[in-house]
């Protein structure tokens, strides 16, 4: 058994070219200045540092152990047999699904809630799609004695009501977004299905109303990706040799980055993982990495946050309601976008029907029900296996479980 790492990894130290800086839109007050009013102070430090390694605060490391880190890396022997590659190709997965909120998001929520408490904040505010991020923030807030307020995209507020109730059990106040609680929300009306972009705008507006509130971002910012590297650093200790493929799904990019960046960093420094291929699996309903444009765009639909250079479908992109609501975000994190641009990361998009079929197959052969988001990574694995030569090793990130997504899987006859 390996331990919990003592530090996070920051890929900014190893990128072949600097990240294009965030910029302000032409009109209105500085959004970059605004970040320092809404984000926990230490989070902004993590966002801007070029240090390769960032020490995980003792208190956060203790919480990591309390929630069950390190998570195991397991072999998918049942699935290998089911798809007919037994012995020829080895498939492993990192079980972030074992964490108490059912996804990797608690890894950064604990750090961010701790940072907010260092600022003396009373309340943390955020947006959520499927509810995994809102649930992680609600749990982390409860651990640090903070109040949590969550703006949940309206379509998920109704379809993922079990997660909403869990947030409420943990003491959070949950609004369907667009909501009536903010000016932004009131502008969209009660029929709108919502989008992560709108929910972010609402959460930021709400956070700005009171300086005892801190806004906690769930993905896309570099600091969040840094916290998630606890996943990949554990995998470095657990995996034998260097895998041929590392695969993870992409919403904003945090579980993909957290899982792969320690290895990508090693590759960029010319040390190891030179022949490992890094595959990002996204939803064909929000295909920013395969169909988007690499350009400056907003993190949210109302330009409440700054602009960053990213692969984006446009900040007003509203995908259809999707079971994998965590993959509906319009853009991919700046560093992930740059790595895609440079050809270090490859991307594939998958349809909902396809991924849910593969996920049911996986569930029946492994006894583990993946989140609909994770199912995209599984479809990418299935495709890779088809063309893989004997001896190929594939490792993917089981970013979350699907135990609260019974609506996605229906009767299970997929
Ligand atoms: C939120 C979520 C994702 C997508 O978000 P990223 O920031 O891209 O990781 C993927 N899988 C699960 C289970 C999630 O909850």
pLDDT tens readout for residues 297-346: 999 888 889 999 999 999 988 888 778 878 988 999 999 999 999 999 99
User: Using a 6 Å cutoff on CB, does residue 363 contact ligand 1?
Assistant: no
Instruction: State how far the Cα of 329 lies from the Cα of 299, in Å rounded to an integer.
Output: 9
Instruction: State how far the Cα of 230 lies from the Cα of 247, in Å rounded to an integer.
Output: 16
Top mutation candidate among 251, 288, 289, 340 for ligand 1, by most atoms within 8 Å of CB: 251
pLDDT digits (tens, 9 = 90+) for 113-139: 999 999 999 999 999 988 999 999 999
How far is ligand 1, taken at its centre, from the CA of residue 373, in Å? 6
Q: For residue 121, give the nearest of 7, 178, 60, 43 by alpha carbon.
A: 43
- Taking CA atoms only, the protein residue closest to ligand 1 atom 1 is 326
User: Using a 6 Å cutoff on CB, does residue 232 contact ligand 1?
Assistant: no
Q: Work out which ligand 1 atom sits closest to the CA atom of 96.
A: 13
User: Using a 6 Å cutoff on CB, does residue 253 contact ligand 1?
Assistant: yes
Q: Which DSSP category does 98 fall into?
A: G
Q: Work out which ligand 1 atom sits closest to the CA atom of 103.
A: 13
Displacement of CA 244 from its chain's centroid (Å): 23
Query: What spatial distance separates the first Cα and last Cα of the chain, rounded to whole Å?
Result: 37
Three-state DSSP at 222 gives: helix
| Cβ–Cβ < 8 Å for 225, 261 | yes
How far is ligand 1, taken at its centre, from the CA of residue 258, in Å? 11
Q: Which residue has the tokens 């940072």?
A: 115
Three-state secondary structure string covering 285-327: CCCHHHHCEEEEEECCCCCCCCEEEEEECCCCCCCCCCCCHHH
Mean pLDDT of the region 27-32: 94
Instruction: State how far the Cα of 201 lies from the Cα of 151, in Å rounded to an integer.
Output: 10
Mean pLDDT of the region 271-275: 98
Check pLDDT > 80 for residue 239: yes
Listed ranges 28-32, 85-89, 191-195; the one with the highest mean pLDDT: 28-32
Is the preceding omega at residue 15 within 30 degrees of 0, hence cis?
A: no
User: Using a 6 Å cutoff on CB, does residue 156 contact ligand 1?
Assistant: no
Residue 2, pLDDT score: 64
Instruction: State how far the Cα of 321 lies from the Cα of 308, in Å rounded to an integer.
Output: 26
Residue 321, pLDDT score: 73
Residue 413, pLDDT score: 39
Q: Which domains does the chain have, with CATH numbers?
A: 10-60+105-220 (3.40.50.1100), 68-102+223-398 (3.40.50.1100)
Q: Which residues of 247-279 are buried (b: 16+ CB within 10 A; e: fewer)?
A: bbbbbbbbbbbbbbbbbbbbbbeeeebeebebb
Mean pLDDT estimate for the chain: 95
Band (pLDDT 50/70/90 cuts) for residue 74 is: very high
Listed ranges 157-171, 235-249, 294-308, 312-326; the one with the highest mean pLDDT: 235-249
Q: Count Cα atoms within 13 angstroms, Cβ side, for 60.
A: 25
Mean pLDDT of the region 237-246: 97
**Backbone phi and psi for residue 76, each to the nearest 5 degrees, phi listed first:** -95, 60
Band (pLDDT 50/70/90 cuts) for residue 414 is: very low
Instruction: State how far the Cα of 352 lies from the Cα of 169, in Å rounded to an integer.
Output: 31
For 201, the token pair is: 């705008």
How far is ligand 1, taken at its centre, from the CA of residue 247, in Å? 13
Q: For residue 283, give the nearest of 184, 408, 194, 171 by alpha carbon.
A: 408
Residue 412, pLDDT score: 41
Listed ranges 16-20, 83-87, 402-406; the one with the highest mean pLDDT: 16-20
CA angle centred on 174, ends 169 and 179, rounded to 5°: 165
Band (pLDDT 50/70/90 cuts) for residue 141 is: very high
Check pLDDT > 70 for residue 359: yes
Mean pLDDT of the region 52-59: 98
Mean pLDDT of the region 143-157: 95
User: Using a 6 Å cutoff on CB, does residue 255 contact ligand 1?
Assistant: yes
């Amino acid at each position: 058994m390996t331990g919990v790492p003592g530090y996070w990894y920051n890929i900014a130290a190893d990128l072949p070219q600097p990240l294009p800086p965030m910029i302000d839109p032409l009109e209105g007050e500085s959004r970059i200045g605004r970040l320092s009013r809404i984000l926990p102070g230490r989070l902004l430090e993590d966002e801007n540092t070029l240090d390769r390694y960032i020490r995980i605060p003792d208190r956060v490391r203790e919480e990591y152990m309390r929630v069950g880190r390190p998570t195991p890396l397991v072999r998918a022997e049942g699935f290998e047999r089911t798809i007919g590659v037994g012995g020829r190709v080895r498939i492993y997965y990192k079980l972030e699904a074992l964490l108490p909120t059912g996804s990797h998001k608690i890894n950064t929520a604990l750090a961010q809630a701790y940072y907010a408490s260092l600022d003396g904040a009373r309340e943390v505010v955020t947006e959520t799609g499927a509810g995994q991020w809102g649930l992680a923030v609600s749990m982390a807030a409860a651990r640090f004695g903070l109040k949590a307020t969550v703006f949940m995209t309206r379509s998920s507020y109704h379809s993922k009501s079990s997660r909403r109730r869990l947030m409420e059990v943990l003491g959070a106040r949950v609004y369907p977004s667009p909501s009536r609680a903010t000016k932004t929300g009131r502008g969209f009306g009660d029929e709108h299905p919502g989008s992560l972009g709108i929910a972010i705008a609402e959460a930021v507006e709400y956070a700005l109303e009171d300086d005892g509130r801190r806004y906690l971002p769930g993905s896309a910012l570099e600091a969040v990706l840094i916290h998630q590297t606890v996943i990949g650093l554990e995998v470095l200790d657990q995996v034998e040799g260097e895998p041929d493929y590392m695969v993870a799904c992409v919403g904003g990019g945090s579980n993909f980055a957290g899982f792969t960046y320690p290895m990508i960093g090693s590759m960029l420094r010319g040390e190891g993982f030179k022949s490992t291929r890094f595959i990002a699996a996204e939803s064909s309903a929000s295909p920013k990495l395969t169909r988007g444009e690499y350009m400056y765009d907003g993190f949210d639909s109302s330009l409440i946050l700054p602009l960053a250079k990213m692969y984006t479908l446009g900040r007003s992109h509203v995908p259809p309601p999707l079971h994998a609501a965590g993959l509906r975000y319009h853009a991919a994190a700046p560093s992930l976008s740059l790595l895609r641009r440079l050809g270090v990361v490859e991307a594939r998009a998958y349809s909902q029907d396809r991924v849910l079929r593969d996920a049911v197959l996986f569930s029946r052969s492994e006894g583990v029900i993946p989140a609909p988001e994770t199912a995209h990574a599984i479809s990418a694995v299935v495709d890779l296996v088809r063309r893989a030569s004997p001896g190929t090793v594939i490792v993917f990130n089981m970013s979350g479980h699907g135990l609260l997504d019974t609506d996605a899987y229906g009767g299970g006859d997929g």
